[in-house]
Amino acid sequence: MIVEPKVRGFICTTAHPTGCRENVKQQIEYVKSRPKTDGPKRVLVIGSSTGYGLSSRIDLAFSSGAATIGVMFERPSNGKRTASAGWYNTAAFEEFAQADGLYAKTINGDAFSREVKEEAAGLIAGDLGQVDMVVYSLASPRRTLADGTTVSSVLKTTDKDYTNKTIDLASRRITEVTVTPATEAEIADTVKVMGGEDWKDWISLLSEKGLLAPDAVTLAYSYLGPELTHPMYMDGSIGRAKEHLFQTSREISQEFPGVTAYISVNKALVTQSSAAIPIVPLYISILYKVMKEQGTHEGCIEQMYRLYAEKLPARAVDGRGMLRLDDWEMEPDVQAAVLRAWDEITDENLDRLADIDGYWEDFYQMFGFHMDGVDYAADVEVEVAVPSL
């Protein structure tokens, strides 16, 4: 079929197989253009099919030659509709990995479930023996618990209403949004979904089965953000989950001998998660403008290469022990420029002060659209197999 983007709110309901393959290919080419790294050789990536998880898997495989097992929760095509972008990304990753002689297998299922954890453990035991690294990059809005209950996360404040600017990306108009307080139950559910409990469950199971190599490292990804988003982010329900994730990193390092856990605080980028957050898309659009003008803008793959080539080997942590890949974003001159633009921005000067086109490019490219060199008028086969599934 001829595949076109169908955008509904902050999600695209279609994905382009050739475009997704090209996106993965370009990330691999970037990694191959950089110096090789002496990183881990056996890696489990939980949440491996899009965003930072996908870029982590690409970097660790093609920079340090790691054998990787990925865990994803993606939808294949049924012939009438496209597969999800993560499905096509994973098919392309495995194709390129195998062409380079790299081990790559993927599990498709709910990473929160005991069944998927056991399946991953069996694959590690049978194929790799142990893993040197576990990357936890799960980004899900809901979680089904062991008793069958499903809980959902919310993005709300924890004390009072917070009103600020945001943007309607479709109409390119500045509007106002008010974020309301969460209930205690909503906060607890958000921590259940986005905190560190499941990360620790993974490490506990792998440790019990003897599948973690001596001196194994595990990382989870987080975001802190600027002060203008703190009332509804770091000081809000999501912030409670992020703090729980951080505390979990300390618990893992203390409770599992030989295992070191880190939080990597990454830069604000266009992702399926960030696109759904009020206020943040406008902030990202302004940030893109500022950092591109300064020559410091990075996408997922540049961030992950810098993490595994520079930050992690040097154990370059902040005062709380976190790896800070948002360091360039949080430079005082960058934040000052963003705040000046934030105060001045209107519908009339939007294109001068914010990179809305760059935001949309990143959004479409998440789903395989707007990639250079892809003929979007051509018929494509939407049923694509992931080799290991």
Q: What is the DSSP string of 289-323?
A: HHHHHHT----HHHHHHHIIIIITTTT-B-TTS-E
* E-state strands within 83-222: 104-108, 131-136, 142-144, 150-152, 162-168, 173-179, 212-222
Tokens 């290919």: give the residue.
25
Q: Annotated catalytic, 359?
A: no
Instruction: Tell me if 130 sits within 8 A of 42, measured CB to CB.
Output: yes
- Angle (CA) 105-110-112 rounded to 5° is 110
Give the number of other CB atoms < 10 A from CB of residue 162.
21
Q: Could you say which of 52, 221, 223, 233 is catalytic?
A: 233
- The structure tokens listed for 339 are 């705040």
- Angle (CA) 340-342-343 rounded to 5° is 70
Question: Which residue, 9, 58, 50, is CA-closest to 32?
Answer: 58
Active-site annotation, residues: 233
